[in-house]
């Protein structure tokens, strides 16, 4: 049984994550943590953008905050988002990974260590390779790995990098990703 969903996105990913979250039922039980590459020097309003399209509670993650089922958490600009063993978030201002902070690899790697085969990782769209190492770690520890079909996005560098780095479970359209996520939550 899955206990956490982590999602990574960058260039071209905002419309996709809006579509995904708007399609999830209001009783969706998995907590969701999202890393989106956004400029550090600008306020991150992704929580407000996503809150407007879903019935799930959406907020920017805070340091030492407990993870609550059915909630959506956004990594704050300028901080890596990690999952601690006690199922709380941790924020870090450590150096950038693959030129970005927050890093998808950092979130996915820490979540994989905590949730192992109870984790779902999803990569949407992006113009760099962040997420490839994180998905490889999720796969190594038995988690479910889903990648948006590179042909379905304008910025396919990230999905292609992930597909090269790990033997993912699904390469799918956004509609099929949504169906998979709803299906695994109903089990």
Residues, the chain? 187
* Interatomic CA distance for residues 64 and 150, integer angstroms: 35
pLDDT value at residue 41: 67
Q: Map out the domains of the chain as residue ranges.
A: 4-186
pLDDT value at residue 144: 98
* Interatomic CA distance for residues 30 and 129, integer angstroms: 26
pTM of the full predicted structure? Answer: 0.97
78-114 tens-digit pLDDT: 999 999 999 999 999 999 999 999 999 999 999 999 9
* φ/ψ of residue 34, rounded to 5: -125, 130
Report helix, strand or coil for 123. Answer: strand
* Interatomic CA distance for residues 21 and 25, integer angstroms: 9
Parts of the chain with a pLDDT under 50:
none
HSE value, Cβ hemisphere, 13 Å, CA-based, for 117: 2
Report helix, strand or coil for 151. Answer: helix
Indicate which residue of 10, 77, 125, 129 is catalytic. Answer: 10
- Would you call 88 a catalytic residue per the annotation? no
Contact assessment for residue 153 and residue 159, using Cβ atoms and an 8 Å cutoff? yes
Which CATH number applies to 4-186: 3.40.50.180, 3.30.70.270, 3.90.1720.10, 3.40.50.2300? 3.40.50.180
Indicate which residue of 80, 125, 130, 152 is catalytic. Answer: 130
* Interatomic CA distance for residues 89 and 186, integer angstroms: 25
pLDDT value at residue 44: 72
* φ/ψ of residue 35, rounded to 5: -110, 125
- Would you call 130 a catalytic residue per the annotation? yes
- Would you call 80 a catalytic residue per the annotation? no
141-153 tens-digit pLDDT: 999 999 999 999 9
Record the tokens describing residue 23, joined without a space.
């399609």
* Interatomic CA distance for residues 1 and 187, integer angstroms: 7
């Amino acid at each position: 049984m899955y206990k956490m969903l982590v999602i990574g996105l960058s260039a071209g990913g905002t419309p996709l994550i809006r579509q995904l979250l708007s399609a999830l039922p209001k009783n969706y039980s998995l907590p969701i943590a999202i890393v989106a590459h956004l400029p550090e020097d600008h306020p991150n309003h992704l929580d407000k953008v996503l809150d407007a399209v879903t019935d799930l509670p959406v907020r920017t993650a805070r340091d030492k905050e407990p993870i609550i089922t059915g909630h959506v958490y956004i990594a704050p600009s300028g901080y890596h988002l990690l999952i601690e063993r006690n199922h709380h978030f941790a924020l870090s201002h450590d150096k950038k990974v693959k030129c970005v902070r927050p890093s998808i690899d950092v979130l996915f790697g820490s979540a994989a260590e905590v949730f192992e085969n109870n984790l779902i990782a999803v990569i949407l769209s992006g113009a760099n390779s962040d997420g490839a190492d994180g998905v490889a770690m999720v796969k190594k520890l038995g988690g479910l790995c889903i990648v948006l079909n590179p042909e379905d996005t304008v910025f396919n560098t990230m999905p292609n990098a992930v597909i090269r780095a790990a033997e993912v479970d699904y390469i799918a359209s956004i509609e099929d990703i949504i169906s998979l996520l709803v299906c695994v939550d109903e089990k």
